[in-house]
Amino acid sequence: MSEREFRSAFVPSPADEFILKDSDIHYRVYNTTSGLTSDSYTSYFHKSIGGYHGAKLARYQDLIERQLSQGNIAAFSMLNTKWIIMQDQQSGVMQAQPNMSACGNAWFPAEVRQVANADEAMAALGQFDPMQTAIVEQGEQAERLINSEVPDSTARITLTKYDPKVMTYAVQGLTKNSTAVFSEIFYEVPGQRWIATADGVEIPVARVNYVLRAAVIPAGTKEVLFTFVPETYRVGSTVDGIFSVLLLASLGFALWIEFKRRRA
């Protein structure tokens, strides 16, 4: 395939070009003209809300089937779906429509509501305002979040740096220990988890709204950092480094032996 043929398959639509002018460092796009689980085109230009993956997280698949595919705008908004691509019925031209209710990258909800289990959490997503309410399932995480305080209306938390493995948030005006919700997927398995720190001190990460991350941010915090360094990657990098040193040492020793042999 020639380069021209390859590039012709990825020509941005007018809607894509319009969205790409957005200077926001991190947001998501929903393309209504493609299926939520089969669209690959949108991800070429944007951070798509959908797309195909052979090993999709079960909870996110649940969210697709029971909320996103039903058109629940609150579910889209809590995932910071800032733009929606639609096709004009008359002209057939792809258009970009802003989602004015998008929650942004992080926010302080006014209340934390506890439910008994995952099923109740999913049901609660059907009728709630994500900016006002965080839904947490019963357990240790719930007690910590419920006991947090509602922040002052002037408190703000803003994403300042984005990387798939490191996300930095600036916090302003926080005078109470308050729950913050982040429009990122909660993921935690043995040896693989997101680590959150507030001004360098690790804080627990909880799951809210069935799929999102949350944490109680201590009063006076200036910066929150989320990092993802899987234990498997760390161990692999260490082993790789050790064997690289051994290889270089072996090569050096072989060269030394060869040098000695030629001098003899």
Structure-block tokens of residue 144: 């910590």
Largest CA distance in the chain: 89
Residues 144, 208: contact at Cβ < 8 Å? no
> Could you count the other beta carbons within 10 Å of the beta carbon of residue 212?
21
Q: pLDDT by residue for the chain (264 residues), tens digit each?
A: 888 887 777 889 899 999 999 999 999 999 999 889 888 889 999 999 988 888 889 999 999 999 999 999 999 999 999 999 999 888 888 899 999 999 999 999 999 999 999 999 999 999 999 999 999 999 878 999 999 999 999 999 999 999 999 999 999 999 999 999 999 999 998 888 999 999 999 999 999 999 999 999 999 999 999 999 888 777 777 888 888 888 888 888 888 887 777 776
Backbone angles phi, psi at 119, to 5 degrees: -60, -45
For residue 153, what is the DSSP state?
Answer: T
In sequence order, which residues have a C-beta less than 8 Å from that of residue 102 and are 6 or more positions away?
A: 27, 76, 77, 80, 81, 82
Token pair recorded at residue 169: 């948030």
Give the pairing of strands 206-208 and 156-162.
unpaired
pTM for this structure? 0.86
* Distance separating alpha carbons of residues 169 and 27, to the nearest angstrom: 15
Determine the Cα–Cα distance for residues 52 and 50; give it in Å rounded to an integer: 7
